[in-house]
């Protein structure tokens, strides 16, 4: 993905070490985008 972005002129790219899982493992905040189920 970093290479694909670079080809489109986005050069200042840094990957997050360990990805989303590493972020979650440290207990850092996440924002849920799951659709909220409507109540009956």
Partner 1 sequence: MGHATDLLIRYGYIVVFGVVLAEQIGLPVPSQLLLVGAGGLAGNGRLNPFIVLVAGAFASLIGDSVWYGIGRAGGPRVLGWICRISLEPDSCVRRTHGMFGRCGAWSLVFAKFVPGLSTVAPPLAGVTGMSLHAFLGISTIAGLVWAGVFIALGWLFSSQLEVIGTSLEGLGSWGLAVVVGAIVAYVAYKYVMRHRFMRKLRIARITPEELKTMLDAGGDVMVVDVRDRLDFQTEPSIIPGALHLSTDELEARHLEIPRERDIILYCT
Site for partner 1, rule CB under 8 A: 1-5, 8-23, 26, 28-34
Least gap, CB of 18 to partner 1 (angstroms): 6
Least gap, CB of 39 to partner 1 (angstroms): 20
Place of tokens 């290479």: 3
Least gap, CB of 31 to partner 1 (angstroms): 5
Report d(CA 2, CA 12) in Å as an integer.
9
Q: Which is nearer to partner 1, 3 or 40 (CB)?
A: 3
Q: How many CB atoms lie within 10 A of CB 19?
A: 9
């Amino acid at each position: 993905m970093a290479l694909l972005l670079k080809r489109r002129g986005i050069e200042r790219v840094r990957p997050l070490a360990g990805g989303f899982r590493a972020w979650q493992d440290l207990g850092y905040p996440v924002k849920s985008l799951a659709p909220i189920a409507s109540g009956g």
